[in-house]
Amino acid sequence: MFVLGHLGIGSRLLFSLRTRLPAGWLYLGCLLPDLIDKPLFYVPLLVMHRQLPLITGTRTFGHTGLFLLAWLILALALRRPWIWAVFAGLVTHFALDIAGEMVTDADPESSIWLAFFFPTFGGRFPEAHFHSLFEHLTMSAQSAYVIAGELIGGALLLYTRWRRRDLRA
């Protein structure tokens, strides 16, 4: 879980480009892979008390290079600011997930690369090392990368809001 990190840090990774994109759509793009993949993993666990055969973790279809490529093609074809904003947010999501794995030395079986290059590596997604949302949150709360990212992301969001308010006054 990395909501504030993806929103705050992700949007700032775009530097001045972020000011030319619709903020709401940009924020949606920053979270979209998780908004797709986390429910695909957790809802069957909650409802059926088991996971679906292909959905072995919280990084599946929304975390694939094919998903990112589809948004790029859509953005190039339609040339709408909101589509570019979602695409830009997606790029930052992937960048932060990859950075997180590099910093935390993630297990290859749970690697973002398995999802990103799906179906190249045997047509499987990374495996989660947790079996419930509570367990996932507990593990995330023990990660220095996640804690630092959430604090920095939250601070950046507050700073952005404060600056916007100051500019209006």
- How does pLDDT run across 34-75, given as a tens digit for each residue? 999 999 999 998 888 888 888 999 999 999 999 999 999 999
Report whether pLDDT(142) > 70.
yes
User: Angle 129-127-35 (CA atoms, 0-180°, nearest 5)?
Assistant: 95
What's the pLDDT band for 108 if we cut at 50, 70, 90? confident
Question: Among 31-40, 68-77, 127-136, which is the least confidently predicted range?
Answer: 127-136
What's the pLDDT band for 23 if we cut at 50, 70, 90? very high
Count of domains observed in the chain: 1
Cβ contacts of 32 within 8 Å, gap of 6 or more: 62, 86, 89, 90, 93
What's the pLDDT band for 1 if we cut at 50, 70, 90? low
Higher-pLDDT residue of 45, 108: 45
Report whether pLDDT(159) > 80.
yes
What's the pLDDT band for 15 if we cut at 50, 70, 90? very high
Cβ contacts of 155 within 8 Å, gap of 6 or more: 8
Q: What is the DSSP string of 72-122?
A: HHHHHHH--HHHHHHHHHHHHHHHHHHHHHHHHT--GGG-HHHHHTTTTTT
The predicted structure's pLDDT at residue 86: 98
The predicted structure's pLDDT at residue 122: 86
The whole domain housing 144 covers: 3-168
Calculate the average pLDDT of the chain.
Answer: 92
The predicted structure's pLDDT at residue 46: 85
Q: What is the mean pLDDT of residues 27-40?
A: 97
How large a percentage of the chain has pLDDT more than 90?
Answer: 70
Question: Among 15-29, 72-86, 127-141, which is the least confidently predicted range?
Answer: 127-141
